[in-house]
Amino acid sequence: MTVLFKNIKELLQVREERIDFVSGVDMAVLPTIKNAYLLVKNGNIEDFGAMENCPKIEADKTIDATGKMVLPSWCDSHTHLVYAGHREAEFVDRIKGLSYQEIAKRGGGILNSATQLQKTSAEDLYQQSKVRLEEVVKLGTGAIEIKSGYGLTLDAELKMLRVIKRLKEDYSIPIKATFLGAHAFPKAFKVNKKGYLKLLIEDMIPRVAKEGLAEFIDVFCETGYFSVEDTDTILKAGRQFGLIPKIHVNQFTAIGGVQVGVKYDALSVDHLEEMRDADIQSLKNTRTMPVALPGCSYFLGIPYTPARKMMDAGLPLALATDYNPGSAPSGNMNFAVSSACVKMKMTPEEAVNASTINGAYAMGLQNEVGSITKGKLANLILTRPIPSYSYIPYAFGSNHIEKVYLKGKEIV
């Protein structure tokens, strides 16, 4: 099947040559074509260019995009979309003055979600999660990573990962699964942390790998959670079973997690609200993608990732939602893009690069999505008529998406 988009006001993120990601000053460069066409064939990008060079073909479907823009769909490389229930009561507690850490010490936070998930059937968990997935796709997300980590027992972690696997089978959006058994120490191991590390390494990781339920392994490396030493041990074990490292680091404190991520060639290090000069230096000349989660900073009222300082140092940066019930209950990548511009002082060009091509790399999907490149999947956003692409983050309260396409097919 062929689909022809014609009279596109501006076609964004055009990359003739395949590249993995952009860094430093190149983050500010967003290649576009004005008054463009885009040809899709059998779900892939077949051709594109200026309208004056548009081929005269009889496409199965022709879409007149006059006044509208087309860009690759958002690539959300950090979510916890599979979870049970909600935590709005903790939201009210924070309004009343309790911190995230104080709520966690009272049995809230991750442990609250774990308790709910352990009681939820796999079918119910799937039904809750599919609603969220369908919602974020309609908001423009065309590739997504989903973590476990709200199970904290072998059976519950496997249940989460099997739900993610089922979502991958049932939906055409590329989905990457991450094993995050090291999200928190469960109540049963509160005074036996070595016992939980033993369970992770000797039982959970081998079982996840045997069933092929995850491609990545993640650790919440943070004061009060998993230490740098714990993280080193877990990532080493994961690597032995072929799981690629991704780490939660520097959310509340900087304790050396970035360095252990680099040591194990982590595909990404995520959060980074607290960044020391030494952390930035550690990431230079590596293939590890820093990922900022502005929705979490907004919701918890904590600092934002110092994007300007990092990009000025020559680093790349990706943006993701951190969609989860406790610290970022929104999977809206449009809000992440806008927040990055407003709060992190990223330009619209930088934010789009961070949310498309760099986000794709942070999931290992750079050869499939993230740019308008021949041969990549036609996972696309068609905007409503807008004056410029800067209008997307500028008018943050409005929906600027007219239609979303996955593999060239309109999502309804």
Lookup result for tokens 């073909």: 57
pLDDT at 276: 97
The predicted pLDDT at position 94 comes to 81
Residue 189 φ then ψ, to 5°: -115, 25
Q: What is the pLDDT of residues 48-95, one digit of tens each?
A: 999 999 999 999 999 999 999 999 999 999 999 999 988 888 888 888
Residue pLDDT, tens place only, 206-234: 999 999 999 999 999 999 999 999 999 99
With both helix axes pointing from N to C terminus, report the angle between 122-138 and 154-170 in degrees, rounded to the nearest 10.
50
What predicted TM-score, i.e. pTM, was given to this entire model?
0.95
Q: How are beta strands 44-50 and 32-41 bridged, if at all?
A: antiparallel
Res 104: pLDDT: 76
User: pLDDT, tens digit, for every residue of 145-190?
Assistant: 999 999 999 999 999 999 999 999 999 999 999 999 999 999 999 8
- The annotation places the binding site at 78, 80, 87, 150, 183, 248, 251, 322, 324, 326-327
Residue ranges for the chain with pLDDT beneath 50 = none
SS3 153: coil
Q: Binding site membership for Zn(2+): which residues?
A: 78, 80, 248, 322
CB–CB of 103/95 below 8 Å?
no
The three-state secondary structure class of 245 is strand
Annotated binding site for N-formimidoyl-L-glutamate: 150, 324, 326
Annotated binding site for Fe(3+): 78, 80, 248, 322
Instruction: Give the pLDDT score at 90.
Output: 83
User: Strand pairing of 175-182 and 216-221?
Assistant: parallel
What is the pLDDT, as a whole number, of residue 99? 82
